[in-house]
């Protein structure tokens, strides 16, 4: 089974693409890291308790006023204001929040991937906004980056979708994610079929056609007979997975070494 990583930057169109891939003619299962990240911080979970312990003393509006059966849910925009944006304090808090949420997300993602494999799917989409930052890159046979070249379009789409965000909130969120062009370059380094990029500056029809084109290439690299063979022979699937992980780890380490060198030269 192919692990098809889907990533990009905030409001570049990842969810739009994952919806396309979940419907015919693709009908692929989607493991949605953002959705799981919400579920693992619902009141009563270990994640929720850890966030409340760390952030409540310094964030008076951390919890919403209306309590559900398991307690008062997190006020996500308030927590977002604490962790998004630039500056040492925000970066530290973002790290602490990630340290609470990410391990719980990983565990649930593994579960959903195994379930998709057992159901015999030829590929599963891993919709992970922070795919490169969180190390998931190594596990993915192919990565699809959805980017928007013009940040003004990105901010405008973000504000049109999330009406509660001010211009400054939207700009902070876009800036805290880094440059999507860098993610695109990093993705293409993996080689054809292992890394593909779709630019979503046009309309939704154009996006749909571009996805159709790239998915034809992805399917060619992972034909039906090959997926069937991996499914009937789990040890072979394991070996192929380890070899792919090793190769993609090399690409990742080379990229990181190059970045370090470039920084040292400046
Ligand atoms: C801070 C929180 C509560 C804000 O919630 P809110 O509903 O307002 O925003 P939402 O979750 O939709 O995120 C908006 C955008 O920011 C991105 N984002 C989320 N967390 C982070 C982060 N730690 N660093 C950078 N970008 C992030 C999302 O992927 C999305 O593109 C929430 O984003 C969160 O819990 N983040 C930490 C967990 C995380 O890293 N999630 C990403 C997938 S594992
Ligand atoms: N090509 C397009 N033309 C116009 N609007 C678009 C296009 N692609 C996506 N959108 C809209 O832009 C908004 C952001 O898209 P989407 O939610 O898919 O992005 P995302 O990358 O998943 O966002 P996030 O990182 O915040 O989860 C949505 O309201 C979506 O309908």
Mean pLDDT of 188-193: 89
Mean pLDDT of 7-29: 95
pLDDT above 90 as % of the chain = 63
User: What's the CA-to-centroid distance between 121 and ligand 2, angstroms?
Assistant: 26
146 CA closest ligand 2 atom index: 21
Residue 263 has pLDDT above 80, yes or no: no
Residue 262 has pLDDT above 90, yes or no: no
Q: Would you state the pLDDT for residue 86?
A: 80
Per-residue 3-state assignment (H helix, E strand, C coil) for 19-63: HHHHCCCCCCCEEEHHHHHHHCCCCCCHHHHHHHHHHHHHCCCCE
Q: Is there a contact between 129 and 10 (Cβ–Cβ < 8 Å)?
A: yes
Lowest mean pLDDT among 4-13, 176-185, 200-209: 176-185
User: What's the CA-to-centroid distance between 264 and ligand 1, angstroms?
Assistant: 31
User: What's the CA-to-centroid distance between 228 and ligand 2, angstroms?
Assistant: 34
Residue 85 has pLDDT above 80, yes or no: no
Compute the half-sphere exposure of residue 44: CA atoms within 13 Å on the CB side of its CA. 6
Residue from 126, 129, 132 nearest 108 by CA? 126
Q: Would you say the CB of residue 10 lies under 6 angstroms from ligand 1?
A: yes
Domains of the chain by start residue, with CATH: 1-29+122-266 (3.40.50.300), 43-118 (no CATH)
Task: Give residue-wise pLDDT tens across range 42-70.
Answer: 999 999 999 999 999 989 999 999 888 88
Closest protein CA for atom 12 of ligand 2: 157
Instruction: Please determine, for the modelled complex, whether the ipTM score is greater than 0.90.
Output: no
How far, in Å, CA of 177 to CA of 162, rounded? 17
Q: Greater confidence, 86 or 158?
A: 158
Q: Would you state the pLDDT for residue 35?
A: 94
Mean pLDDT of 198-226: 93
Q: Would you say the CB of residue 177 lies under 6 angstroms from ligand 1?
A: yes
Residue from 126, 91, 156, 150 nearest 21 by CA? 126
Q: Which residues line ligand 2 (CB under 6 A)?
A: 8, 10-16, 34, 129, 157, 161, 200, 202-204, 207
Mean pLDDT of 204-230: 92
Q: Would you state the pLDDT for residue 16?
A: 96
Q: Would you state the pLDDT for residue 265?
A: 72
Mean pLDDT of 113-137: 90
Q: Would you say the CB of residue 37 lies under 6 angstroms from ligand 1?
A: yes
Strands across the sheet containing 142-147: 30-32, 123-127, 2-8, 142-147, 195-199
10 CA closest ligand 2 atom index: 25
Q: Would you say the CB of residue 176 lies under 6 angstroms from ligand 1?
A: yes
Closest protein CA for atom 31 of ligand 2: 16
**Nearest ligand, CA of residue 11?**
2
Q: Would you state the pLDDT for residue 161?
A: 94
Residue 144 has pLDDT above 80, yes or no: yes
Q: Would you say the CB of residue 33 lies under 6 angstroms from ligand 1?
A: yes
- List 195's β-bridge partners, or say none: 143
User: What's the CA-to-centroid distance between 17 and ligand 2, angstroms?
Assistant: 9
Dihedral, CA of residue 186, residue 191, residue 192 and residue 197, to nearest 10:
0
Q: What is the mean pLDDT of the chain?
A: 91
Residue 178 has pLDDT above 80, yes or no: no
- A 10 A CB-CB count for 174 gives 22
- Please, what is the end-to-end C-alpha distance for the chain in angstroms? 42
Closest protein CA for atom 12 of ligand 1: 34
Residue 123 has pLDDT above 80, yes or no: yes
């Amino acid at each position: 089974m192919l692990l098809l990583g889907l990533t990009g930057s905030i409001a570049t169109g990842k969810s739009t693409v994952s919806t396309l891939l979940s419907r015919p003619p693709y009908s692929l299962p989607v493991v949605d890291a953002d959705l799981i990240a919400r579920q693992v911080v619902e009141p009563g979970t270990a994640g929720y308790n850890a966030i409340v312990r760390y952030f409540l003393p310094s964030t008076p509006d951390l919890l919403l006023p209306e309590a559900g059966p398991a307690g008062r849910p997190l006020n996500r925009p308030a927590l977002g204001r604490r962790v998004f944006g630039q500056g040492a304090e925000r970066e530290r808090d973002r790290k602490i929040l990630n340290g609470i949420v990410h391990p719980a997300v990983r565990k649930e993602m593994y579960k959903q991937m195994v379930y998709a494999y057992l159901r015999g799917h030829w590929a599963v989409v891993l919709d992970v906004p922070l795919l490169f930052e969180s190390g998931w890159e190594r596990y993915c046979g192919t990565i699809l980056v959805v980017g928007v070249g013009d940040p003004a379009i990105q901010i405008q789409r973000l504000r049109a979708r999330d009406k509660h965000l001010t211009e400054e909130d939207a700009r902070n969120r876009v800036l805290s994610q880094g440059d999507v062009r860098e993610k695109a370059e990093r993705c293409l380094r993996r080689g054809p079929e292992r890394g593909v990029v779709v630019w979503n500056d046009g309309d939704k029809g154009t996006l749909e056609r571009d996805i159709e084109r790239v998915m034809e290439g992805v399917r060619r690299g992972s034909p039906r007979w090959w997926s069937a063979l991996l499914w009937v022979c789990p040890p072979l699937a394991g070996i192929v997975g380890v070899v792919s992980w090793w190769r993609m780890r090399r690409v990742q380490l080379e990229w990181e070494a190059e970045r370090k060198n470039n920084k040292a030269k400046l």
